[in-house]
Structure 1
């Protein structure tokens, strides 16, 4: 007895958001708040049930846990500023995805992390908020023996 499953090929379409500038502004606000050392303001860029998906770590869920994570990992003595570039923004309506290249710098201007970021944003109360945040860290890793 044979069972035949048919499926239509998935067609991926890219739709640029009519809110490209507003979506990009959220990431740029992250950089501005980081330069001020205002981690609380950064956490407010996220939805209440947002998730961070850091490289080589478990997911961080919820705004309060995200703020705790940032207080440990984005302290001004570790990371003084960030630069985002080469944006690609997709979506429309009340959801968008933004991909960008990122560099994090210490207080002496040295790059401490370099990679790519993908964030999923949703519109809440007319404002874009980060709902999912995942990034890569292209810092070379040490070889295991």
Structure 2
């Protein structure tokens, strides 16, 4: 499936970044705005279920960056929309669910770690993985600034 490899790389990079940042953020533990941070991811899921990729792109900062698995970074809201138009097409992906949240941060920045299930158009799970997003508060609203994910599928052995 076209979406699987990018999802796998994205989730892997996200987890690596989160593990790198966790000690620095541990002092502030749970974000004081955890519900609002979580709401951004839940809005992503709602918009994806509707097939509204433009609405999803508006959840990102202007200079946001996707760090997809096994792919180059995708920078800027317009490029992110174009990436999602290829990988999250409504004929391929019907939605997503997020759970097992860990949210760390402060007043104007946060990191959200969650588990993700990608769904097909019939609501069946087609992929399970992990997501790490870095959010910034801009104009009083939380926006995704960095987005990384990976899937839980085992990696295939290297070919000689």
Output one character per residue of 1:40-69: Cα deviation in whole Å (capped at 9) or x when no partner.
000000000000011111100000000000
TM-score of the pair, normalised by structure 2: 0.80
Output one character per residue of 1:14-52: Cα deviation in whole Å (capped at 9) or x when no partner.
421111000000000000000000000000000000000
- What SS class does the counterpart of residue 47 from structure 1 fall into? strand
Output one character per residue of 1:120-145: Cα deviation in whole Å (capped at 9) or x when no partner.
00000000000000011222444444
2:101 to 87, 94, 116: 87
Bigger relative contact order (CA 8 A; separation at least 6): 2
Conserved 8 A contact 2:28-2:106: no
1:97 to 86, 98, 111: 111
Larger Rg over CA atoms: 1
Deviation at 1:110, TM superposition (A): 2.6
| Residue 73, structure 1, aligned to residue 93, structure 2 | no
Give the distance between the partners of 1:84 and 1:137, measured in 2 at CA.
13
The residue that corresponds to 2:54 in the other structure is 40
The residue that corresponds to 1:3 in the other structure is none
Give the distance between the partners of 2:109 and 2:126, measured in 1 at CA.
31
Tell me which stretches of 4 or more aligned residues in structure 1 moved more than 6 Å. Answer: none
Return 5+ residue gaps in structure 1 as ranges: 1-9
TM-score of the pair, normalised by structure 1: 0.88
Give the distance between the partners of 2:154 and 2:90, measured in 1 at CA.
23
Return 5+ residue gaps in structure 2 as ranges: 1-22
- What SS class does the counterpart of residue 78 from structure 1 fall into? coil
1:26 to 28, 40, 44: 40
How many aligned positions are there?
A: 136
Give the distance between the partners of 2:90 and 2:141, measured in 1 at CA.
27
Output one character per residue of 1:97-137: Cα deviation in whole Å (capped at 9) or x when no partner.
00000010101223222110000000000000000000112
RMSD between aligned residues: 1.5
